[in-house]
Amino acid sequence: MLLTIPEILSKDEVQQFKQHLLSAPWQDGKLTAGGQAIHVKANQQLDGNAELTRHLSQTLLTRLSTHPTFISAALPNKIFPPKFNQYQHGGHYGLHVDNAIMSLANGQSLRTDVSATLFFSEPEDYEGGELAIETQYGAQEVKLNAGDLIVYPSTSLHQVKPVTQGSRICAFLWVQSLVRDSQQREQLFELDQSIQVLTSERGADDYEVKRLSGIYHNLVRSWSNC
């Protein structure tokens, strides 16, 4: 499932982030590329150890951790703190799959089940730079408004096409989900969204709403692997 979640950040918040990001210490993205990625990665990334990066990352992490649609879609067990990247001057990231396991700062590891990209640049700020994600229905090209987030399975082959004009700044992150299987996660998301609609129509005390909520929780109980 590819899911766009609009307006994770307001336009004002995007501007505040961008002011910080534009004055921040960018480094060659190849420094953090592993395995096959080093051959296909041509972008810049914020120094993850810089105080500013940690602050921006934490702010975004807090926002996502409390966002009901993001929680419903990703069912996070652990979230890798967001990183920031910039593509310009033909920068691109060729077709790849993200590493399956990432190391967290606390020494734990995180299995990447869900990937997400949040756009800080408006689509008209740059040429190219589409995030192209391979799905069973063919490649889907994604280029969102600033402040919007795309969520997709980490198992997907994907690429960022060359940015031929302007600059594309994004944040990206990974989630280890409570539910590893993407089809099971998608069904839980669909069920949860319907329950939310029915709850607003019938009220939380409605018997059928309670019964469906019970099925939702029992499916999570069956399918979660934390």
Minimum Å distance from CB 118 to Ni ion?
14
How many residues of this chain bind Ni ion (CB under 5 A)?
1
Distance CA 83, CA 36 (A): 19
Minimum Å distance from CB 15 to Ni ion?
26
Residue 104: both structure tokens together:
């967290």
Task: Name the residue whose CB lies closest to Ni ion.
Answer: 98
| 22 vs 104 by CB, closer to Ni ion | 104
Minimum Å distance from CB 159 to Ni ion?
8
Radius of gyration over every alpha carbon of the chain, rounded to an integer in angstroms: 18
Q: Is 44 helix (H, G, I), strand (E, B) or coil?
A: strand
Distance of CA 160 to the CA centre of its chain: 14
Residue 25: both structure tokens together:
């210490």
| 53 vs 115 by CB, closer to Ni ion | 115
Taking residues 80 to 99 in sequence order and writing x for each that binds Ni ion by CB under 5 A, - otherwise, the string is ------------------x-
| 29 vs 76 by CB, closer to Ni ion | 29
Distance CA 179, CA 186 (A): 10
| 87 vs 192 by CB, closer to Ni ion | 87
Minimum Å distance from CB 96 to Ni ion?
6
Taking residues 97 to 136 in sequence order and writing x for each that binds Ni ion by CB under 5 A, - otherwise, the string is -x--------------------------------------
Distance CA 96, CA 160 (A): 10
Whole-angstrom CA distances from 212 to 78, 199, 222 are 27, 10, 15
Place of tokens 């590329």: 33
| 98 vs 186 by CB, closer to Ni ion | 98
- The residues that touch Ni ion, with contacts defined as CB under 5 A, are 98
